[in-house]
Amino acid sequence: MKIAPSVLTADFTNLKNEIDSISDADLIHIDIMDGNFVPNISFGPAITKQISKVSNKNLDVHLMVLDPLNWIDEFSLENVEYITVHFESNNFLEALTKIRKNGKKVGLTIKPETSVSLISKYLKDVDLVLIMSVKPGFGGQKFIPESLNKVKELVDLREKNNYKYVIEIDGGINGETAPLVKKAGVDIAVVGSYLFNKKERNKEMEKLRWKSLFFQI
């Protein structure tokens, strides 16, 4: 299971050191919130560009915005690997097409109250499916256990139909929930506050990976 730290709870007065402290990350997760789609505002393209300048990692952009189509060009930076939009946002289908056109990997995500069956017809065309395991908008919330069933559903659908997407989970991942999501079949776990509240983040990511393996045996 890959680990994608979310920098939402990083210390932005110390950004370069914060990014350096997660040098073993597989990807860096970028949470973009517009204060409309979710009741919070995070940061935008300018800060994302700064992050991409001080990091040699690929970025995984999670757009929690009402109109993703307006933002995709701004976030199609060189080291952005995935751009993920919400099924619940405006014109999400056109947004997926635009991400593909811009040469980025296409991600689709659903809120905790949205079922996998609603996105089943789009699954053949996406590279990543993100299951939100908390209500989008804030870091530091508690993991919603029903998310594990959605992961299993996605694993089954992928196997049955020979789909190619990777499964990502986002929200409330810590030392206890990481083994559970790995066991359910998650490929990429986003980890925010749990990681940034620790001092030795690379070591902590290693522990999360190790625990996950241990529980898989």
Ligand X SMILES: O=C(CO)[C@@H](O)[C@H](O)COP(=O)(O)O
Contacts with ligand X by CB under 6 A lie at: 6, 8-9, 29, 31, 62, 64, 134, 136-141, 170-173, 190-194
Contact 189, 3 (CB under 8 A): yes
Burial (0-12, 13-18, 19+ Cβ within 10 Å), 216 = exposed
Using CB under 5 A, which of 57, 62, 150, 209 touches Co ion? 62
Q: Considering only residues 129 through 188, tell me which ones interact with Co ion, judged by CB under 5 A.
A: 170
The residue to which tokens 């517009």 are assigned? 34
In whole angstroms, the minimum distance from the beta carbon of 159 to ligand X comes to 27
Euclidean distance between CA atoms 122 and 57, whole angstroms:
28
Given the residues 31, 34, 60, 187, select the one marked as catalytic.
Answer: 31
Q: Quick check: 60 binds Co ion (CB under 5 A)?
A: no
Contact between residue 1 and residue 24 where contact means Cβ atoms under 8 Å apart:
no
For Co ion, the closer of residues 3 and 214 by Cβ is 3
Q: Vertex 94, ends 89 and 99: CA angle to 5°?
A: 95
Q: Which is nearer to ligand X, 146 or 156 (CB)?
A: 146
Closest to ligand X by CB, 179 or 192? 192
The smaller minimum CB distance to ligand X, of residues 70 and 197, is found at 197
Tell me whether residue 187 is one of the annotated catalytic residues. Answer: no
Asked whether the beta carbons of 115 and 154 are under 8 A apart, the reply is no
Token pair for 32? 């973009």
86 assigned ligand-binding residue? no
For residue 209, give both structure tokens.
Answer: 């990976």
Burial class of residue 114, CB neighbours in 10 A (0-12, 13-18, 19+) = middle
> Among this protein's residues, is 170 annotated catalytic?
yes
Residue ranges for the binding site? 6, 29, 31, 62, 137-140, 170-172, 192-193
The residues of the shown chain that bind Co ion, judged by CB under 5 A, are 31, 62, 170
Residue ranges for the binding site for substrate? 6, 62, 137-140, 170-172, 192-193
Residue ranges for the binding site for a divalent metal cation? 29, 31, 62, 170
Catalytically annotated residues: 31, 170
